[in-house]
Structure 1
Amino acid sequence: MTHVVTLLPPLNGLPQSVQVESDAVSGGEGEVYFSTDGRHAVKAFYHANPNLEQHLRYIMALFADLPEDQKRFIVPPLALIETFDGTPRPGFIMRRVPPRYRKAVDLILTPRQAAEQFARGITWGSYLLAARSMAHAIGVLHSKGCAHTDIHYENFVVDIDEGDAVMMEADGVVVSGFIKPRVKGLVGFMAPEILTKGAVPSKITDRHSLAVLVLHMLLFRNPLQPLIELSDDQAESVRLGWGEQALFSDDPQDRRNRPTYLDVPLFEGGVLGYRMLSPQLRHVTEGALIAGLHDPPRRPSVHDWLEALSATLDQLWGCNECQQVFPYPYWKSPPMRACPFCGEQTRPPRPVVLSMWEERLAGSFAPIDRALVLGNGSPIYADMAEPHCLPPRTRRGVPIIGHTVWDEKRRAYRLVNNSDCTWTTVQSTATPAKVGGNQSIDLQPKTMIRLGSGKRILEVIDGGG
């Protein structure tokens, strides 16, 4: 059995009527049906609202001209429902996300669920990519002047094999003066000031929700989960624990919410702490959940999160023991560099670490907050040389301009130039040298390599070995 849904103009390239399957996914506001051709989904609301059609038309207009690289992160309304099996019913049609995507809530509730994903070959790097996709989705909304009323793991679907995520509830956006919030959000993800002061969802509250969502994705737990009761009244305890007295679990100054076995390796029954993250991610975490937790203007922006998540992609290292990947802790002394999943110390040859510099004024370079962690055979991609460039979603097809080689006899790394561009190197003990195609350079600490005119400079900050 199928249902027939007719649509109101403008149709935006859609047929006037669509057949949908009889089975529906029920939610708080309505039901979602899938078209028989597998291309679209229809959200039919339970109840009519005099402002709903205007609300949806505004959102349709807002997202009508999204470029493909933004459209892929959200699922906005495409056209409105006129009738459902001949009966007027409020709702809209949208594109269908492929069935391989699963709700994020099914993937990030517990460390055990994460371990089940790891057992089938998924790595932590896939969770990092998915978290970046989530940040991209919220960035798309903010670029359109929107905020969201309900950012949490129920409103994202994830293809964890590809590390991809899509926001499903784009109809839940708010625009000050135009679109009012229909819900306050989900306790655990909404900003403390919404609970304590009745604040209206905004970009500032989104920044809090994004931080919680990202950390939940990366650490497999809510980083604000209260561990003590703050009142004999359960509702008041919840309000205080997530609102007025909300506290970051890893706060170095207050241990009340600190989980047992924090920073003990995950596969030994421990809990991942934020200190296993890259320096960039630790910085935005502290800004969002310590400095900005109760001081909203201090929260990092979505762009700050995107830069930190992107930078971390180039700092991943694989464990020789459990094969899991993690941000390589080059900021620690070598004996302290261990896998946060199994606890195994990193083994020689350890990777070489290079920082990035960019030209600020003509001939004047300054370091940026990016590092590369490279082992034997690791490629240097073209995007790594380009100023103001973050890693793309995938590097499939991206040109390789160089690679690192471990010289076992000398116990040192070399960087080979695979490009048509001549590089220039500067070492503290040598005069500048030119490095042409298929030539290489020793990667000794403080060596600096300019990857061509107008390109970045790489500086060796840890020679590895």
Structure 2
Amino acid sequence: MNNLFLPGQTVYTESTSVPCIIGQFLGGGGQGEVYSAQLSDRTVALKWYFPHYLESDPFLRERLTTAIQSGSPSDRFLFPLELVSAPGVPGFGYIMPLRDPHYSGLIDLMKRRIEPSFRALATAGFELADSFFQLHAKGLCYRDISFGNVFLDPETGHILICDNDNVDVDRGDKSAIKGTPRFMAPEIVCDIAPPSTQTDLFSLAVLLFYMFMMHHPLEGKKEAEIRCFDLPAMTKLYGTEPVFIFDPHDTSNRPVEDYQQNAIEFWKIYPEFLKERFTRAFTDGIHNPGSGRVQETEWRTVMIRLRDAIIYCPHCGSENFYDAEIMKHSGGQLKPCWNCGSHISPPPRIRIGKSTTVMLNYDTQLFPHHIDEQRRFDFKSEIAAVTQHPSNPSLWGLKNLSTEKWVITSADNSVKDVEPGRSATLAPGTKINADNSVKDVEPGRSATLAPGTKINFGKTEGEVRL
């Protein structure tokens, strides 16, 4: 490999004939080779196809043209920008944004070469669901959601999606790609339906399950008993007789102790609302693919809720999750820390509106979507952050980072305006909207978050709870 181009060679964009200078060889595979390249003042990536691959995929140029004309659904896609060709060189290629080198492939996650936090994983889950929602909204389906096509920033959880040359119109028939084994929906495995946005939803659920459980959702006892993992065995396991390993009504495919331990251990860690979505994805989502699959918007909501449910063990510092369902059935007790086994007390938390609950950790941030339902999934800027008092480290508070004035009412019925950039002292028993005197809160003050404190964020009410 690495013999198609040398550094310094030139290819040209087909639409405008702009020269693109070949740079470093980045890698290759069965389809072609990828290089860095310079397009005017921009560094891009260039993928060039082998001639023999073009013969096997006669609609590739048409799909790429459709993708380019459609435009990238979001900046998380390394989407085709321009087709390129070169005089005297057979075939063609395309240019796309260049991946930042600090992103790692999801294969690295599966092999434990990177260890992102639960917050980073939840962020990645949100961004995946949001990205494929944007793609599907354009009438396109990805067809091949799998490990090999997603990159992850292990620190932040931000994701990038590559190999977008397999993107096709929904239920289109101009691609030879049906998916990657283990990720394809049962109806594709059984060859009774083409790839579509609905089959993308199944593949997305498999990918998310892998990310959080480090295991495949259908590989339990039935997989462990297979002696020859050939095509008929795979068709049965993933196509004709798929059974979720945690199906509440069918225990025939439970994970095997020691052999499939990842699934067993990770499943215990997560809150019930996440496990419920996975259960539906691989029960109703298998038997009723038209209506039973978890939609992208549901995954987005779940992943934000998962971020907001993170709490820290006071003994070892490990991330755990606040689980209201578990507390209902355990006398108000949370599960012990998964890492050290220590007892975890229910943390301070803020209830915003009717359905949003956010844990108040030392690093908690509130975003526009927390207080305004019209700005769903908005992470563009913080509107509040938990802060530590500058002279009394035992006091923690909430700083107004928004452009809206907050109003709080203390237990003594005094009312305070909290202007943008200021912090407020919230004493026990504070309530919202009392008709008494208004006092300004000076800049730089910390907010002591106490049970019963209520905050008016301008549009939405929040209340601090224990």
Q: TM-score range by the shorter chain?
A: 0.7 to 0.9
- Counterpart residue number, 1:451: 456
How far has the Cα of 1:271 moved from its partner? 2.3
- Counterpart residue number, 2:121: 127
How far has the Cα of 1:99 moved from its partner? 1.6
**What are the residue-to-residue correspondences of 1:104-253 with 2, within 5 Å?**
104-109=106-111, 113=112, 117-118=114-115, 122-176=116-170, 180-228=174-222, 234-253=230-249
Is the Cα–Cα contact under 8 Å of residues 55 and 179 in structure 1 kept in the other structure?
no
- Counterpart residue number, 1:2: 7
Amino acid at match of 2:138: K
Amino acid at match of 2:239: G
- Counterpart residue number, 2:252: 256
Asked if 1:25 is matched to 2:17, the reply is: no
TM-score (norm 2): 0.78
Amino acid at match of 2:246: D
Amino acid at match of 2:213: L
Is the Cα–Cα contact under 8 Å of residues 387 and 399 in structure 2 kept in the other structure?
yes
- Counterpart residue number, 2:3: none
- Given candidates 45, 48, 54, the residue that maps to 1:48 is 54
Asked if 1:284 is matched to 2:277, the reply is: yes
3-state DSSP of counterpart to 1:185: coil
How far has the Cα of 1:160 moved from its partner? 0.9
- Counterpart residue number, 2:405: 421
Q: Which consecutive unaligned segments of at least 5 residues does structure 1 have?
A: 358-366
Q: Which consecutive unaligned segments of at least 5 residues does structure 2 have?
A: 1-5, 419-423, 431-449
Higher strand fraction (1 or 2)? 1
- Given candidates 421, 436, 444, the residue that maps to 2:417 is 436
**What are the residue-to-residue correspondences of 1:311-322 with 2, within 5 Å?**
311-322=305-316
**What are the residue-to-residue correspondences of 1:257-406 with 2, within 5 Å?**
257-261=253-257, 271-273=265-267, 276-296=269-289, 297-331=291-325, 332=327, 333=330, 334-346=332-344, 348=345, 350-357=346-353, 367-368=354-355, 370-375=356-361, 378=364, 380=366, 383-390=369-376, 392-393=378-379, 398-400=382-384
3-state DSSP of counterpart to 1:107: helix
CA distance in 2, matches of 1:45, 1:286: 41
User: What's the CA shift string for 1:262-319, capped at 9, x where partnerless?
Assistant: 9x997xx96210x533444233223212221221121121111111111221111122
CA distance in 2, matches of 1:384, 1:56: 38
CA distance in 2, matches of 1:162, 1:176: 31
CA distance in 1, matches of 2:163, 2:429: 48
CA distance in 1, matches of 2:23, 2:400: 53
CA distance in 1, matches of 2:369, 2:271: 20
User: What's the CA shift string for 1:38-60, capped at 9, x where partnerless?
Assistant: 82111112233443222211110
Amino acid at match of 2:97: R
RMSD value, Cα:
3.6
Q: Call closer, same or farther: CA 1:443–1:242 in 2, change over 3 Å.
A: farther
Asked if 1:59 is matched to 2:67, the reply is: yes
Q: Which one is further off, 181-190 or 227-236?
A: 227-236
TM-score (norm 1): 0.78
Is the Cα–Cα contact under 8 Å of residues 63 and 168 in structure 2 kept in the other structure?
no
How far has the Cα of 1:375 moved from its partner? 3.9
CA distance in 2, matches of 1:244, 1:168: 30
CA distance in 2, matches of 1:243, 1:41: 37
| Count of aligned pairs between the two proteins | 418
Amino acid at match of 1:45: Y
User: What's the CA shift string for 1:65-88, capped at 9, x where partnerless?
Assistant: x5xxx53210111111212x7312
Is the Cα–Cα contact under 8 Å of residues 403 and 418 in structure 1 kept in the other structure?
no
Q: Call closer, same or farther: CA 1:101–1:416 in 2, change over 3 Å.
A: closer
How far has the Cα of 1:418 moved from its partner? 4.5
Is the Cα–Cα contact under 8 Å of residues 387 and 456 in structure 1 kept in the other structure?
no
Is the Cα–Cα contact under 8 Å of residues 145 and 204 in structure 2 kept in the other structure?
yes
How far has the Cα of 1:260 moved from its partner? 3.7
**What are the residue-to-residue correspondences of 1:68-79 with 2, within 5 Å?**
71-79=74-82
CA distance in 2, matches of 1:91, 1:376: 49
Is the Cα–Cα contact under 8 Å of residues 104 and 156 in structure 1 kept in the other structure?
yes
3-state DSSP of counterpart to 1:372: strand
Q: Call closer, same or farther: CA 1:356–1:137 in 2, change over 3 Å.
A: same
3-state DSSP of counterpart to 2:255: coil
3-state DSSP of counterpart to 2:45: strand
Q: Call closer, same or farther: CA 1:34–1:381 in 2, change over 3 Å.
A: closer
CA distance in 2, matches of 1:393, 1:153: 25
Q: Percent identity?
A: 22
